[in-house]
């Protein structure tokens, strides 16, 4: 059996695909996988690093306004469709699976033109642009949020495959916080703004450092690879010190190993992050990105707040003072954190990869 996956742009579209491939490979080592991503996308580095066959097409997303750039994008899309068709004809997959991001558009469209079964996964509570384009001719649809059901004629709630991978990893995780020069027996907060980082969250963290330096809990703060030096410059310019209870780093490669060890997670409300955190039952402070399609991160976050699993700070309201106040309120109230953790756990779908694999097979 041969299966093509496509998705990219952000880790939220890549990791569900990799989690599905990982679980499927364990179930059937004979399945042959190929990942088609963008030439310049984050997926090229991540997928190749995971040891999965990778090929690329040249594509970029549409500008969300009337622009000459969109004419170039249309040309790139058509060119990418032609290249994707060549790749698919050579590989001859039984099914092509899209996990979101603009690169999945030409790849799955090419598969549809070639009459190859296609399956898409919608991670968010609101349908993305690519999946909106593909939904009319897709064979099967898997969704993570029940609120996305009405966007599709037929769909199945399968959760987010990343959740199962994270839970499986947590059972054997023995992450040693001393490797980060932190203590294993101290309550720990994890702060990250996604794989690219979040400038306003980073700025609020810098502003809150004087308060966090004084606390009896510890913080792991991932700035995003390309924003680490900017944060260091901000700290130096403000003449701030960073005490030993705070670890600042660009990126956390082994997030699935670290996540089970933390007591509170602060960050964006992308679908994959929420899937990981609910599967592990983590209380959350969510700062939705206002720069995404249909403000879907706010809708994702609100579903967590409504369930009693999270607090939400809108980016427009985010300051160092607001952030520090919210963090202290939870870190100094263990009972409240445990209640939020229980509510988060109720939302987690821990067999999500299995469910998605079965859905893909049903498309054949």
| Residue ranges covered by each domain of the chain | 2-160+350-362, 168-347
More confident call, 275 vs 116: 116
Query: What are 300-339's pLDDT values in tens digits?
Result: 999 999 999 999 999 999 999 999 999 999 999 999 999 9
120 is in an annotated binding site: no
- Burial of 234 from C-beta contacts in 10 A (0-12 / 13-18 / 19+): middle
Query: What are 255-275's pLDDT values in tens digits?
Result: 878 999 999 999 999 888 899
Residue 67 pLDDT greater than 70, yes or no: no
- Burial of 71 from C-beta contacts in 10 A (0-12 / 13-18 / 19+): exposed
Class of domain 2-160+350-362: alpha beta
Lowest mean pLDDT across 4-18, 55-69, 236-250: 55-69
Task: Tell me which CATH code domain 168-347 carries.
Answer: 3.40.50.2000
11 is in an annotated binding site: yes
10 is in an annotated binding site: yes
**Both structure tokens of 85:** 């068709």
Q: How confident is the model at residue 285 (pLDDT cuts 50, 70, 90)?
A: very high
pLDDT of 42 reads: 85
Residue 364 pLDDT greater than 50, yes or no: yes
- Average pLDDT for residues 11-40, to the nearest whole number? 94
Q: Calculate the CA dihedral of residues 107, 113, 118, 120 and round it to 10 degrees.
A: 50
What residue spans of the chain are helical by DSSP H? 11-27, 42-49, 69-91, 104-113, 129-134, 161-172, 199-212, 228-237, 255-258, 271-280, 296-306, 320-331, 334-347, 352-362
- Average pLDDT for residues 143-168, to the nearest whole number? 87
Question: Percent of the chain, pLDDT > 90?
Answer: 71
168-347 and 2-160+350-362 share a CATH fold: yes
139 is in an annotated binding site: no
165 is in an annotated binding site: no
Q: How confident is the model at residue 185 (pLDDT cuts 50, 70, 90)?
A: very high
87 is in an annotated binding site: no
Lowest mean pLDDT across 114-128, 132-146, 161-175: 161-175
Residue 63 pLDDT greater than 50, yes or no: no
The overall pTM is greater than 0.85: no
Mean of the per-residue pLDDT values for the chain?
91
pLDDT of 69 reads: 62
195 is in an annotated binding site: yes
Residue 73 pLDDT greater than 80, yes or no: no
Residue 10 pLDDT greater than 60, yes or no: yes
More confident call, 334 vs 296: 334
């Amino acid at each position: 059996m041969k299966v093509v996956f496509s998705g990219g742009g952000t880790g939220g579209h890549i990791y569900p695909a990799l989690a599905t491939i990982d679980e499927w490979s364990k179930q059937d080592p004979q399945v042959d996988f190929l990942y088609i991503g963008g030439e310049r996308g984050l997926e090229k580095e991540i997928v190749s690093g995971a040891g999965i066959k990778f090929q690329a097409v040249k594509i970029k997303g549409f500008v969300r306004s009337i622009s000459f750039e969109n004419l170039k994008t249309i040309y790139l899309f058509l060119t990418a469709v032609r290249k994707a068709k060549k790749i698919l004809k050579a590989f001859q997959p039984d099914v092509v699976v899209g996990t979101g991001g603009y690169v999945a558009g030409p790849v799955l469209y090419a598969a549809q033109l070639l009459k190859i079964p296609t399956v898409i996964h919608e991670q968010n509570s609101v349908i993305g642009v690519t999946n909106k384009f593909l939904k009319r001719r897709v064979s099967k649809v898997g969704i993570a949020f029940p609120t996305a059901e009405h966007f599709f004629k037929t769909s199945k709630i399968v959760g987010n495959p990343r959740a199962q991978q994270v839970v499986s990893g947590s059972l054997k995780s023995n992450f040693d916080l001393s490797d980060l020069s932190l203590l294993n027996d101290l309550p720990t907060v994890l702060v990250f703004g996604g794989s690219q980082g979040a400038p306003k969250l980073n700025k609020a963290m810098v502003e809150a450092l004087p308060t966090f330096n004084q606390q009896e809990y510890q913080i792991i703060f991932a700035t995003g690879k390309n924003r680490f030096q900017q944060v260091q410059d901000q700290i130096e310019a403000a003449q701030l010190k960073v005490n030993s209870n705070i670890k600042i780093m660009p990126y956390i490669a082994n997030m699935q190993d670290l996540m089970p060890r933390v007591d509170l997670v602060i960050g964006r409300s992308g679908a994959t992050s929420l899937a990981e955190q609910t599967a592990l039952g983590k209380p959350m402070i969510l700062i939705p990105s206002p720069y995404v399609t249909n403000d879907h991160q706010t809708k994702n976050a609100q579903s967590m707040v409504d369930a009693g699993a999270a607090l939400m700070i809108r980016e427009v309201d985010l300051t160092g003072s607001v952030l520090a106040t919210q963090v202290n309120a939870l870190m100094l109230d263990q009972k409240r954190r445990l209640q939020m953790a229980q509510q988060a756990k109720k939302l987690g779908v821990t067999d999500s990869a299995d469910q998605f694999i079965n859905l893909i097979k049903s498309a054949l």
